């Protein structure tokens, strides 16, 4: 999600229309899948997931993605944003004026949503694995999460199902054990009891073809599914939770809850 943050920061600074991510200037981050990019004739990692709406050089200004020039407009690590936070509303509009999610990814998202979710689904993002194991401040425990979910369900009896997006497989079994409502989740690569992803780099190691691309796409799919949930319980500190708010193009999220630590 780091490149999305950099693009959003640039959009906030430029405050303009007809902006394009420069095809030759996207940094080759850890999630750059060289094999996938080369095999599919893609210019850069950004174009694996998003489409630029302005193609010709004459009609757009370039965003040059550079970690050195990154500015956290979204106050990552500070007070968490909600779906009504002014920076979210502004940057979201700028983002979708200039970019769209690739059709193949949106088809995957919509197929899952149409099959499983309703207008009264509670979407939850819970950040585990390396974030939890690092002992970071503001990282929730499962006991606190369970109690807060119970409070939300009691206060909103119309909620009929739960969608969980998490990098930790163990939480899914816990939710299915502790709650009677249907629990939905995607089939994606997660940490497990035996492979806990204690560092941010542990998740990169897998033998499946295009693993790096798939890990990134799976996180984006989960993020976009969360944008379809009217109720959203976000992590206190997480780029994924911030991006859920930014990528809610249709303004589906009506209630944002912030996880308590």
Which helix (H) or strand (E) is 233 found in, with range? strand 231-234
Pairwise CA distance, residues 91 & 176, whole Å: 36
Cα→Cα distances 9→3, 66, 120, 144, 241, Å = 10, 11, 32, 32, 16
For the segment 123-151, what is each residue's pLDDT rounded down to a tens digit? Answer: 999 876 555 555 554 556 888 899 999 99
Residue 34 has pLDDT above 70, yes or no: yes
Pairwise CA distance, residues 146 & 143, whole Å: 5
Domains of the chain, residue spans: 2-101, 103-258
CATH code of the domain made up of 103-258: 3.40.50.11350
Pairwise CA distance, residues 244 & 163, whole Å: 13
DSSP calls for 101-122: E-HHHHHHHHHHHHHH--TTEE
Instruction: State the pLDDT at residue 170.
Output: 84
Between strands 50-52 and 99-101, the pairing is antiparallel
Confidence grade of residue 41 (pLDDT, cut at 50, 70, 90): confident
Residue 74 has pLDDT above 60, yes or no: no
For the segment 179-212, what is each residue's pLDDT rounded down to a tens digit? Answer: 999 999 999 887 555 655 555 566 666 678 988 8
Pairwise CA distance, residues 240 & 131, whole Å: 12
Residue 67 has pLDDT above 80, yes or no: no
């Amino acid at each position: 999600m780091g490149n999305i943050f950099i693009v959003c920061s640039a959009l906030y600074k430029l405050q303009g229309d007809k902006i394009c991510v420069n095809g030759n200037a996207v940094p080759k981050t850890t999630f750059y899948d060289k094999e996938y990019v080369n095999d599919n004739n893609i210019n850069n990692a950004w174009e694996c997931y998003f489409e630029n709406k302005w193609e010709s050089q004459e009609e757009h200004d370039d965003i040059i993605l550079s970690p050195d020039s990154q500015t956290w407009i979204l106050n990552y690590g500070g007070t968490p944003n909600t779906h009504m936070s002014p920076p979210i509303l502004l940057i979201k509009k700028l983002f979708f004026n200039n970019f769209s999610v690739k059709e193949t990814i949106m088809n995957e998202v919509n197929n899952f949503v149409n099959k499983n979710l309703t207008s009264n689904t509670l979407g939850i993002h819970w950040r585990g694995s390396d974030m939890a194991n690092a002992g970071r401040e503001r990282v929730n425990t499962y006991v606190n999460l369970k109690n807060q979910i119970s409070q939300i369900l009691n206060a909103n009896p119309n909620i009929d199902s739960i969608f969980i997006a998490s990098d930790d497989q163990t939480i899914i079994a816990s939710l299915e054990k502790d709650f009677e409502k249907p629990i939905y989740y995607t089939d994606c690569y997660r940490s497990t009891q035996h492979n806990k992803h204690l560092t941010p780099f542990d998740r990169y190691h897998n033998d499946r073809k295009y693993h790096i691309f798939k890990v990134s796409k799976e996180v984006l799919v989960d993020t976009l599914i969360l944008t379809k949930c009217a109720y959203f319980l976000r992590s206190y500190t997480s780029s994924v939770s911030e991006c859920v708010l930014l990528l809610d193009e249709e303004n589906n999220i009506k209630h944002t809850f912030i996880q308590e630590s």
